[in-house]
């Protein structure tokens, strides 16, 4: 029963729940960015480059063949077009996260900056003594 209690305490911590929410939102955000890249950004870039479809770019290492039983053996290829699209996905996601974190941190700094505390009587007295000594020298 102790293991179950420890697990329950672990799950009920705010950090674990926050992390789970962050992972779920991050996965959904990744799908959105992938769709933006695949469906909105890459088609115009392909048109500008002469109607090129990046997902079809590949280097074929071995052509597709048919074995004697009639079974098709797929081609072996390096799909560098998919790699280019995934790289663009990564750059856009990283930039969006950078901007989000930067905005979040600036908002957090504004909230955390407390107004300076008024000086105590001792500080006022010490300031007056310092000023008087400065005038004498």
Amino acid 136: pLDDT: 79
CATH classification of the domain holding 58: 1.10.1200.120
The total domain count for the chain is 1
Residue 132 domain-assigned? no
**Per-residue model confidence as pLDDT tens for the chain (137 residues):** 688 888 877 777 767 777 888 888 888 888 888 888 888 888 888 788 777 777 788 899 999 888 888 888 888 999 898 888 888 878 888 888 888 888 878 877 776 667 788 889 999 999 999 998 888 76
Amino acid 14: pLDDT: 65
Amino acid 10: pLDDT: 75
Which domain does 10 fall in, by range?
2-126
Residue 103 domain-assigned? yes
- Give, in order, the Cα–Cα distances in Å from 108 to each of 18, 41, 104, 113, 115: 17, 33, 6, 9, 15
78 close to 58: Cβ distance less than 8 angstroms = yes
Residue 44 domain-assigned? yes
Residue 137 domain-assigned? no
Residue 26 domain-assigned? yes
Percent helix / strand / coil, the chain, rounded to 5 = 70, 10, 20
Amino acid 22: pLDDT: 83
Amino acid 1: pLDDT: 63
Q: How many separate helices (H) and strands (E) can be counted in the chain? A: 5, 4
Amino acid 97: pLDDT: 81
Residue 134 domain-assigned? no
Amino acid 37: pLDDT: 81
């Amino acid at each position: 029963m102790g293991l179950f209690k420890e697990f329950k305490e672990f799950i009920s911590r705010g950090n674990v729940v926050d992390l789970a929410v962050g992972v779920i939102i991050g996965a959904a955000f990744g799908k959105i960015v992938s769709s933006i890249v695949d469906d909105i950004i890459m088609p115009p870039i392909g048109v500008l480059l002469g109607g090129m479809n990046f997902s079809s770019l590949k280097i074929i290492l071995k052509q597709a063949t048919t074995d004697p039983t009639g079974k098709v053996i797929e081609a072996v290829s390096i799909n560098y077009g998919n790699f280019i699209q995934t790289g663009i996905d990564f750059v856009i996601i990283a930039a969006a996260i950078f901007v989000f974190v930067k905005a979040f941190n600036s908002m957090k700094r504004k909230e955390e900056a407390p107004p300076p505390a008024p000086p105590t009587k001792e500080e006022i007295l010490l300031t007056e003594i310092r000023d008087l000594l400065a005038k004498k020298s």
